Structure 1
Amino acid sequence: MLDVTPYFTRPDGTYTFARWRRPLVPVIFGLADESLPIFKGAIEAVAAIARHGFAETDPEQGANLMIFVLRDWAELEAAPEIAELIPEITAALPRLIEQDARSYRLFRFETDGAIRACFAFLRVTGADDEPAAEDLALDQAVRAMLTFGAGAAPQVLASSGGGTVVHPDIAAILRAAYDPVLPDAAGDASHALRLSARAAR
């Protein structure tokens, strides 16, 4: 049976699981027109695995899954409207620049712990060693669906017939995580046993 506990365990040892209850309303900033279908297709594909739906608009937020694509973190310093929308990014920016980070993601939550919104920042430089757009899009889509911890990092994607797919273990977790019987949020590791049992089906 797949042990899912590491996938939702934080560095301090706490277990934190959350999924969306709201339908997804994605919007992507900073992409060339030819790349938009790649990212939208990836989000749709991952949502289909989880059997989670979409909506035209979030009545309270407009959009609730926002992906910002940029070439350099310094671009955020020249975008006060983003800092106004997402104040947390201001505090994180020096660390992202120092670490030369490729991506950054933060969630906001409902009062009961379900995911309310996700803001993902993806730095795309065009370097030779950078993953293909399809891989980047699929990776970001997966990571926006659940509050994965660091344990999921090396296993999100897998190769298949010359292309990239969601790793079978991650696909099983996504399907199990969105089982209506399970809660939208959990902070007890006993939840992982229920999730593991469903992922093994």
Structure 2
Amino acid sequence: MSVTTPEAIQEFFTRADGRYVFARWGRPIAPIVFGVADETLATVKGALEAVVTLAGHQMAETDPELGSNLMFFFFRDWAELLEVPDLDRLIPGLGDLVAKLDAAGANQYRVFRFEKDGAIRAAFVFLKMESELQKLPAETLALGQAVQVILMWGDRAFAASSPLAKLPETGATILRPDVAGIIAAAYDRMMPPSAVDPSHAYRIFARLQG
């Protein structure tokens, strides 16, 4: 998707039911990663740090209220989530959700929690490491997930095209320039932490022109 108009930006935050829903993090991000080796842990946190830096936001070792407010779960079967202690307290209706995702053949899912002003308060990222995700280099997988959790995008935002691109000269994976621009503009200090009016996209567009 090429960002050339405010309408194109609106598509990034428009849900399947037609609603415009935007949110960014309102507190420093304190991540924790389950189910990976130490080297992959460092890759995930490194990718997240890169995207947070792009946004001009902050990371923290711990959240004073929640401990960790961004949790990544890597696993091979959705049923494994039912064995995680107390996860059903964090994700109400976890059993039904797992059954639905398993039946749909999903390999990833994100759950967000929000502050009173609509900003992101916490997020949970679930990644079933089946063949499609296993084919991705760890750096590519980590960067893609970091991008998709730095904002609450529309559920179809990256259905047709990845938020990442490859440099033709080196083959290195990078964040698409249009997506990077949206993230940076969305975290401008004059922008609201959340929005449901599509005119919000015009404000992002104006910052991209600057």
Structure 2 unaligned spans of 5+: none
Moved more, 13-22 or 80-89: 80-89
Q: 1:128 to 1:54 in 2, by over 3 A?
A: closer
1:63 aligns with 2:68: yes
Which of 160, 166, 169 does residue 159 from structure 1 map onto? 166
RMSD of aligned Cα (Å): 1.6
User: Post-superposition shift, 1:79?
Assistant: 2.5
Partners of 2:132 and 2:189 lie apart in 1 by 42
Q: 1:25 to 1:88 in 2, by over 3 A?
A: farther
What is the match of residue 189 of structure 2? 180
Moved more, 123-132 or 101-110: 123-132
What is the match of residue 51 of structure 1? 56
What is the match of residue 84 of structure 1? 89
Cα deviation, 1:150-186, whole Å, max 9, x if unaligned, reads: 3421231111221211111110000000000000001
What is the match of residue 207 of structure 2? 198
User: After the TM superposition, which residues 1-16 of structure 1 pair with which residues of structure 2 at under 5 Å, given as runs?
Assistant: 1-2=4-5, 3-16=8-21
Question: Structure 1 stretches (4+) deviating beyond 4 angstroms?
Answer: 126-129
What is the match of residue 106 of structure 1? 111
Cα deviation, 1:17-57, whole Å, max 9, x if unaligned, reads: 10011011011111111211110110001111111111222
Structure 1 unaligned spans of 5+: none
Percent of aligned positions that are identical: 48
Q: Secondary structure at the match of 2:112?
A: strand
What is the match of residue 77 of structure 2? 72
The amino acid that maps onto 1:190 is S
In the alignment of these two chains, the number of paired residues is 201
Q: 1:125 to 1:191 in 2, by over 3 A?
A: same
User: After the TM superposition, which residues 113-132 of structure 1 pair with which residues of structure 2 at under 5 Å, given as runs?
Assistant: 113-125=118-130, 130-132=135-137
Cα deviation, 1:76-122, whole Å, max 9, x if unaligned, reads: 12234222222243331111101221100010000110100010001
Q: 1:111 to 1:88 in 2, by over 3 A?
A: farther
